[in-house]
Structure 1
Amino acid sequence: MISLYEANILNQIREWKRILDLPLPSALYTIDPTKRRTVFVGIGTSYWGARFSEFLWREYVNPDCISIQSYDFVRSRYLISVNDIFVVFSHRGTKTFSIQSLDLAKKSGATTVLITGLGSSDNLTTTAATTTTPDIRIETCAQENCGAFTISLTSALVRMIQWIGLSNKKIVERFKQTSDNIELPMKIEGSLSRKFPGNLVIVGDLIREVVAHEVALKISETCYIPVRSFGLEQFLHGPRVTLDKQSSMVAFTSIMEPRKDGLIKYAETVGAEVIEINENTFNGVSKEFTWLAQLLYGQQLALELSKSLGTNPDTVRADQSPYKEARNLLTL
């Protein structure tokens, strides 16, 4: 019997194809995002969905966009206007700061969009006494049955790719080509990162930095081990000195990125285990979506590490004491 986490990984491509057959909300066709700023907001895995979307939006729709942690948006000062499109990622529609962000943006007159799972509430609770609703609601997949989110993230990204397709027709076809050529489960090298799982560093450049952070989150949630993640340039400016012969470094890179050569040479020189995942790892994946293949690879890596360590990848320790009791003390 496989874990829920593994089943969700394996079901992703089938779910993507189902989603692509569904229409987008008609209200999206009345918005011209090429002439308006777009703000992407989320927290946890949903924040990485926002970051991925920012990169894609800048590349294919409009460079006037930004991604913000919903906690930061609520607790700091950001200027939102009636000319903005404000997109909140929240799979369950229950995260406190994400829903408060949506409410604040709506009160500022922005066009609010919620990207959420099937069955999440229509009336979103912002406080004990008030609720809010988005101007536009985009639904993705069924509610994820596992604490470590995978299929909900990629389903949200498929919806974003559909939306981008309204401005860039070719991107959806390139995505379909990619999904037709990805095979799950992905094959992970036998000893990959099992040498030093307790001293694991994950590095990525540009959109692959987001891959690095999300994969580190998945490994933390499924394996219960500390994982450090960095942008490539951030890592080179200081944290590089923490690598040694007892370190494993996974680098999500591109063969077109010259800065990665210095990273690899440095890590190898100090004796760290180095695993580079780039375009050459995948066959038939279009260049626009190598990052997505790398994300799936990282999900699978987390699963393989979980199996080797004997952890339960489904529960995020909600079945263990004192973690269950500690979780009940939190409001998320």
Structure 2
Amino acid sequence: MTAEISEQPDVLAGLVAARADIAAVARSIAARPPRFALLAARGSSDHAALYAKYLIEVLLGLPAGLVSPSSTTLYGANPDLADVLLVSVSQSGGSPDLVEVTEAARRRGALTVAVSNTPSSPLTGVAELAVDVRAGQEQAVAATKTYTATLLALYLLVDAVRGGEGQDVRDIGTLARRTLDESAQGVARAVDRYRFADRVITAGRGYSYATALEASLKLAETSYLAARAYSGADLLHGPVAAVDEETAVLAVTSAGKGGAAMHDVLDAVASRGADVLTVGSAAERMPAAVRIPVPETAEEVAPILEVLPVQRMALGLALARGGDPDNPRGLRKVTKTR
């Protein structure tokens, strides 16, 4: 996990260099304009799919939703998907439910796109179009480089559909390296402060909600923490009542509308005595016990960077708590569900 976190700047730079391949897929999508988009995924890829949902809704102005695979695999639902774009996101491309959903959607008229780190996977084989995230083999169970590469691939795809040329991510490899280097001390402080935490809430708004979800998953699977993710808005709609002095709150706060919307959330949890950690390009402007800033980018690009110190924190906490982040108990690299 340590090595694969460190590989990310080079992986991201390499993916930007291969943008032409993704742009070719985008041209095929633009030639068949969809009436709306659906996204199918599991695990970390589901968080990447949520990020893509925001991209599609905000940048393309299209309705977008997340698929419930069991609607197809368990209940045999047969909706009309003519003129629909289905994007299936899977690092391994091997989960039977995603393969079945993609096959079924293609039969029902959808334009299907597989976004995967495994070009020879079953998922890629059944989709009409494919995007290779080019992260290289990932051995650690906890996804790190495949997650950020998937985010970037999805951004490049959506940006190219709208006619963009990836300008906001042209230096993403350099920015990722800066993020890892400059956040090291803040991560170390966070690990020291939260190594004995029992309960963690992660929260974000907008594009950064995906990062909050991924942060919760990483803390749970590597450090066995009771971590729960919320949209900042949903946190205020009831769950904030459970926040107290024993609660650690990891708030993802990058510059932009989503980060600005987190001010009320942080005021609420702080008033209840929570110990707050902020991560993101707006972190230093937020009330918190520990702040981990990252370089500022366009808001829609921020999740690619803001998750990097979170990955390092999950790794550090796992080691500090005596765990083995490369071999979390009860988990395998590829999980096959139906």
* TM-score class, shorter: 0.7 to 0.9
Correspondence list, 1:192-211, <5 A: 192=190, 193-194=193-194, 196-211=196-211
Q: Distance in 2 between matches of 1:120 and 1:146?
A: 20
Q: Using the TM superposition, give the Cα deviation of residue 194 of structure 1 relative to its aligned residue in structure 2, in angstroms.
A: 1.0
Q: Is the 8 A contact 2:118 2:132 kept in 1?
A: yes
Q: How does 1:51-62 map to 2 (within 5 A)?
A: 51-62=50-61
| 1:179 counterpart = 2:173 | yes
Partner of 2:137: 143
Contact 2:187 2:309 in 1 (8 A): no
Matched ranges for 1:221-236 at <5 A: 221-236=221-236
Q: Normalized against structure 2, the TM-score is what?
A: 0.83
Unaligned runs of 5+ in 2: 283-292
The structural deviation recorded for 1:248 is: 0.8
Structure 1 residue 286, shift from structure 2 partner: 3.6
**Alignment partner, residue 10 of structure 2:** 14
Determine if the alignment matches structure 1 residue 263 to structure 2 residue 275: no
Residues 282, 38 of structure 1: alpha-carbon distance in 2 compared, 3 angstrom cutoff: same
Structure 1: unaligned runs, 5 residues or longer:
126-131, 318-322
Alignment of 1:1-332 (within 5 A): 5-22=1-18, 23-24=20-21, 26-32=24-30, 34-72=33-71, 74-75=73-74, 77=77, 79-118=79-118, 120-121=120-121, 123=122, 133-140=126-133, 141-170=135-164, 172-182=166-176, 183=178, 184-185=180-181, 186-187=183-184, 188-192=186-190, 193-194=193-194, 196-254=196-254, 256=257, 257-280=259-282, 281-317=293-329, 323=330, 331-332=336-337
Deviations 1:55-94 (A, max 9, x none): 1122222322222243455446473422111110112121
**C-alpha distance in 1, partners of 2:240/2:226?**
17
Change (3 A) 1:253 1:84: same
Alignment partners' CA distance in 1, 2:50 and 2:249 = 23
TM-score (norm 1): 0.84
Aligned residues: 312
* Deviation, structure 1 residue 53: 0.8
The alignment partner of 2:302 has SS state of helix
Contact 1:88 1:115 in 2 (8 A): yes
Measured in 1, the distance between the counterparts of 2:17 and 2:336 equals 36
Matches of 2:5 and 2:80 in 1, distance apart?
36
Across the aligned residues of Structure 1 and Structure 2, the Cα RMSD in angstroms comes to 2.6
**Structure 2: how far apart are the matches of 1:189 and 1:245?**
22
Q: 1:42 to 1:61 in 2, by over 3 A?
A: same
Residues 72 and 293 (structure 1 numbering): CA distance in 2 closer, same or farther, change over 3 Å?
farther
CA contact (8 A) 1:202 1:228 kept: yes
The percentage of aligned residue pairs carrying the same residue is 19
1:195–1:248 CA contact under 8 A, matched in 2 = no
| 1:189–1:45 Cα change, 3 Å | closer
Residues 75 and 191 (structure 1 numbering): CA distance in 2 closer, same or farther, change over 3 Å?
A: same
In structure 1, distance between residues paired with 2:70 and 2:312: 29
CA distance in 2, matches of 1:45, 1:149: 7
Equivalent pair of 1:119/1:143 in contact (CA under 8 Å)? no
Aligned match of 2:286: none
Question: What secondary structure, in the 3-state scheme, does the structure 2 residue paired with 1:31 have?
Answer: helix
Higher relative contact order (CA 8 A, sep 6+): 2
Q: Which amino acid in the other structure matches residue 315 of structure 2? A: L
